[in-house]
Amino acid sequence: MQDLTIAVVGATGAVGRKVIELLEERNFPMKELRALASFRSEGVKIPFIGGELTVHEAKPEGFTGADLVFFAAGGATSKELAPEAVKRGAVVVDKSSAWRMTPNVPLVIPEINAVDILEHEGIISSPNCSTIVLLMALAPLHRANPIKRVIVDTYQSASGAGCKAIAELFQQTRDTLEQKEPEHSAFPHTLAFNVLPHVEDFAGDGYTTEEIKMQDETRKIMHLPNLPVSATCVRVPVPVSHSEAVHIELTHPITPQEAREILAKAPGVIVQDDVAHNVYPLAQDATGKDEIFVGRIRRDLALENGLSLWTVGDNLRKGAALNAIQIAEELVARDCLKPRRKSGAAHS
Amino acid sequence: MQDLTIAVVGATGAVGRKVIELLEERNFPMKELRALASFRSEGVKIPFIGGELTVHEAKPEGFTGADLVFFAAGGATSKELAPEAVKRGAVVVDKSSAWRMTPNVPLVIPEINAVDILEHEGIISSPNCSTIVLLMALAPLHRANPIKRVIVDTYQSASGAGCKAIAELFQQTRDTLEQKEPEHSAFPHTLAFNVLPHVEDFAGDGYTTEEIKMQDETRKIMHLPNLPVSATCVRVPVPVSHSEAVHIELTHPITPQEAREILAKAPGVIVQDDVAHNVYPLAQDATGKDEIFVGRIRRDLALENGLSLWTVGDNLRKGAALNAIQIAEELVARDCLKPRRKSGAAHS
């Protein structure tokens, strides 16, 4: 495989920066890396392999000659520009929600459904961060004992709302400690010393788009179109890493020890479950790590053949940038950087 | 009803201070108030009605002549001293977990099961704070449409672990902002900018005592000995007020609007549910308030006849001190300050 020409759209954002960092860290085969963002970031410098990259405005022409384009900007940008990249012969790995539920766009967590990549027509979507943290724990259990019902409540970090949101959390925290009135713009209310049962936007029926994604994306990735999934997504005053309390109903009885053994063997998952020594996954410990951590594994007291567990992952790494890079690595490994089917019309 | 001689054990703690504050605020009929605590607090002064109270060590003799004794200390203190108070003719309202599951001790949330007070034999228990925040929302729904299953994940504040825990959270926060290594003693790990899936102690089967209480106390208060209740109790970096994500299965279908109407009429409950205007219960807003706040009411997507909701309450007020005071007010109103049945043996 020859080295690739790569572009990153949204290069100055929390996830885009992490994509660039991981491309370097994982020695991704590149001959050129283009850092693209909105016109406001034109000229910004980003450190890269001892030197730096200059950010340019993301425009259709910028994709000419690119083999692979990572989109780590908002959904509107992906909606507009991803088809332009595909038209110019690139394969797109999209971190936004723009294409995730489009039928001919694979939605992939490589440890779970890498094979879906083979069906791509130019765009492959990477799931929502909360969905990834959930499914890394659920999919291995499901393979052993089909899951029939999922209830999940999240404890999501500020960084899910971007770089500015982390800064806002710290500023609000300082202001509160100094008895000043904290201000908010990245969040709908003050997040410091508070919890907000509101991540993203409210859609119909009282659910947020984040909660709806957790249901819809879980069903698509696991190929279980009717799986009942109920989520409450909550923002907590943590800078990085999402935690989730999960309750699942399985088809057959399972002991916590059996579940631990299954998860211990699952790629990308680390079991941290020794409550006698206060060992369980923690947001602070998971930050900067590639794996998803699972603990507090026990019989659920309200569901038939039920399990309760606690899962934590770095939402900027496996929850976002790392998963996108892993998708790209699969594209390279499976030699399917060019779309398998005719592309263009479906995405334009 | 003549004015009463009252004692508060644990007068220097987070809940004990709040009990004294509320006795003053609610004009409880008192002729004498005794502030009692461990020997370490002997001589400490506590502000009270323009003057102050001097704290004395809690000893059996201190209960002589008392009509009513509030216990807001640890379980071991209640276990040892509550029977001494009862022996001396006082009625005990106990905030600890010591007596809650004892069969002849009523466990009471006045809005839900005030009538159980009539059966007391000297001790009445006030439930765990998380249970109160949960049941204030569930009981009114249950009366209209029996509840069959409960799954709840909590977002509990530092103050549930006492006064020192709030100070520790703030100190950890300052240390983190100043890039110092935070220290912990009230919590098993750093709570600042983190979430801990660990409240109280681990008991059997991977559950914590807090989670077991939520199941056992819910069953006792609601007189539903077999109700399936599954809880994950989590500490979040919030000083005061507990939040809870709740998922319930009911007997019959119910619309979110019907649930809102039922809860809007429930005493002690305020519905805050206007997501179009970002209105939902928040820990910071609930702090210092007497009511329990409920919002995010919507159809649960994973349970039959299911409802999801978000409930928040001040764990030091309704979650602890206020509920104890309300029990005492019921004792006065129902003229049952003296035990109904022969007391003594059962508690000694």
Condensed to tens digits (0 to 9), the pLDDT of residues B51-88 reads 899 999 999 999 999 999 999 999 999 999 999 999 99
Q: With an 8 Å Cβ cutoff, are B155 and A236 in contact? A: yes
**Chain B residues closer than 8 Å to A314 by CB:** none
**pLDDT 10s digits, A116-130:** 999 999 999 999 999
Q: With an 8 Å Cβ cutoff, are B155 and A151 in contact? A: no
User: What three-state secondary structure class fits B201?
Assistant: coil
Report the pLDDT averaged over residues B12-32. 93
Q: What is the DSSP letter of B159?
A: G
Residue A344 has pLDDT above 80, yes or no: no
Q: Could you tell me if B140 lies within 8 Å of chain A, comparing CB atoms?
A: no
Q: With an 8 Å Cβ cutoff, are A153 and B245 in contact? A: yes
**Chain A residues closer than 8 Å to B281 by CB:** 197
B160 and B309 fall within a common domain: yes
B window 44-103, beta carbon within 8 A of A: none
**Quick one: angle between helices A129-144 and A209-221, nearest 10?**
40
Residue A59 has pLDDT above 50, yes or no: yes
B157 and B212 fall within a common domain: yes
Q: How many whole angstroms separate alpha carbon A327 and alpha carbon A100?
A: 14
A199 and A331 fall within a common domain: no
pLDDT at A14: 87
Report the pLDDT averaged over residues B203-219. 96
Q: How many whole angstroms separate alpha carbon B309 and alpha carbon B300?
A: 9
B87 and B146 fall within a common domain: no
**pLDDT 10s digits, B269-326:** 999 999 999 999 999 999 999 999 999 999 999 999 999 999 999 999 998 899 999 9
**Chain B residues closer than 8 Å to A283 by CB:** 193-195
Q: With an 8 Å Cβ cutoff, are B205 and A278 in contact? A: no
Q: Could you tell me if B21 lies within 8 Å of chain A, comparing CB atoms?
A: no
B66 and B155 fall within a common domain: no
B302 and B160 fall within a common domain: yes
Q: How many whole angstroms separate alpha carbon A70 and alpha carbon A79?
A: 13
Q: With an 8 Å Cβ cutoff, are A310 and B197 in contact? A: yes
Nearest to B195 among A231, A236, A303 (CB): A236
Q: Could you tell me if A204 lies within 8 Å of chain B, comparing CB atoms?
A: no
Report the pLDDT averaged over residues B90-96. 97
Q: In this structure, are residues B114 and B104 in contact, taking their beta carbons and an 8 Å threshold?
A: no
Residue B341 has pLDDT above 70, yes or no: no
User: What three-state secondary structure class fits A168?
Assistant: helix
Residue A347 has pLDDT above 50, yes or no: no
Report the pLDDT averaged over residues B163-188. 96
The closest of A306, A192, A3, A332 to B173, measured between CA atoms, is: A192
Residue B346 has pLDDT above 70, yes or no: no
The closest of A142, A76, A73, A161 to A305, measured between CA atoms, is: A142
Which chain B residue lies closest to A212 (C-alpha atoms)? B301
Question: What six digits make up the tokens of B177?
Answer: 């902002």
Q: Could you tell me if B106 lies within 8 Å of chain A, comparing CB atoms?
A: no
Nearest to B173 among A173, A206, A295 (CB): A173
> ∠B187-B195-A322 over CA atoms, to 5°?
140
A149 and A205 fall within a common domain: yes
pLDDT at A336: 85
Please report, for residues A7, A17, A91, A328, the alpha-carbon distance to residue A4 in angstroms, rounded to integers and kept in the order given: 10, 19, 11, 11
Q: How many whole angstroms separate alpha carbon A6 and alpha carbon A23?
A: 10
Which CATH number do you get for residue A15? 3.40.50.720
Report the pLDDT averaged over residues A30-51. 94
Which CATH number do you get for residue B257? 3.30.360.10
B window 257-276, beta carbon within 8 A of A: 275-276
Residue A44 has pLDDT above 90, yes or no: yes
Query: pLDDT-derived band of residue A345, with 50, 70 and 90 as boundaries?
Result: very low
Report the pLDDT averaged over residues A12-35. 94
Which domain does B325 fall in, by range?
Answer: 4-128+321-347
A86 and A212 fall within a common domain: no
Amino acid present at A346: A
B65 and B195 fall within a common domain: no
What interface predicted TM-score (ipTM) does this complex get?
0.94
Q: How many whole angstroms separate alpha carbon B254 and alpha carbon B7?
A: 46
Q: In this structure, are residues A216 and A101 in contact, taking their beta carbons and an 8 Å threshold?
A: yes
Question: What six digits make up the tokens of A225?
Answer: 């179109």
Which residue has tokens 């290069």?
A: A11
Mean pLDDT of chain A: 95
Which chain A residue lies closest to B239 (C-alpha atoms)? A193
Domain count, chain B: 2
Query: pLDDT-derived band of residue B347, with 50, 70 and 90 as boundaries?
Result: very low
pLDDT at A348: 39
pLDDT at B25: 93
Q: What is the DSSP letter of A180?
A: P
B296 and B234 fall within a common domain: yes
Candidates B232, B240, B293, B307, partner chain A, best to mutate (most A CBs within 10 A): B232
pLDDT at A1: 52
Closest-CA distance, A248 to chain B, in angstroms, reads 10
Q: In this structure, are residues A175 and A183 in contact, taking their beta carbons and an 8 Å threshold?
A: yes
Report the pLDDT averaged over residues B193-212. 96
Query: pLDDT-derived band of residue B339, with 50, 70 and 90 as boundaries?
Result: low
What backbone phi and psi angles, to 5 degrees, belong to B291?
-85, 165
Mean pLDDT of chain B: 95
Question: What six digits make up the tokens of B203?
Answer: 């008991």
The closest of B234, B187, B220, B244 to B97, measured between CA atoms, is: B220
Q: Could you tell me if B301 lies within 8 Å of chain A, comparing CB atoms?
A: yes
Q: How many whole angstroms separate alpha carbon A5 and alpha carbon B167?
A: 53
B18 and B89 fall within a common domain: yes
pLDDT at A342: 45
pLDDT at B342: 45
pLDDT at B1: 52
pLDDT at A168: 97
Q: How many whole angstroms separate alpha carbon A94 and alpha carbon A106?
A: 10
**pLDDT 10s digits, A62-117:** 999 999 999 999 999 999 999 999 999 999 999 999 999 999 999 999 999 999 99
Q: In this structure, are residues B105 and B121 in contact, taking their beta carbons and an 8 Å threshold?
A: yes
Residue A302 has pLDDT above 60, yes or no: yes
Amino acid present at B3: D
pLDDT at A339: 62
Closest-CA distance, B106 to chain A, in angstroms, reads 25
Q: What is the DSSP letter of A333?
A: H
Question: What six digits make up the tokens of B43?
Answer: 């001589």
Q: What is the DSSP letter of A126?
A: P
Strands A147-155 and A229-232: parallel
Query: pLDDT-derived band of residue B345, with 50, 70 and 90 as boundaries?
Result: very low
Residue A341 has pLDDT above 50, yes or no: no
CA atoms lying within 13 Å on the CB side of residue A308: 23
Closest-CA distance, A118 to chain B, in angstroms, reads 32
Q: With an 8 Å Cβ cutoff, are B197 and A280 in contact? A: yes
Residue A118 CB neighbour total at 10 angstroms: 12
**Chain B residues closer than 8 Å to A155 by CB:** 155, 195, 234, 236
Report the pLDDT averaged over residues A179-198. 97
Active site residues of A: 129, 242
pLDDT at B348: 39
Q: Is B233 a catalytic residue?
A: no
Percent of chain A with pLDDT over 70: 97
Q: In this structure, are residues A175 and A182 in contact, taking their beta carbons and an 8 Å threshold?
A: yes
Catalytic residue among B120, B242, B247, B347: B242
B30 and B134 fall within a common domain: no
Residue A343 has pLDDT above 50, yes or no: no
**pLDDT 10s digits, B249-280:** 999 999 999 999 999 999 999 999 999 999 99
Q: What is the DSSP letter of B5?
A: E
**pLDDT 10s digits, A226-247:** 999 999 999 999 999 999 999 9
Q: With an 8 Å Cβ cutoff, are B234 and A296 in contact? A: no
Q: How many CB pairs under 8 A join A and B?
A: 168
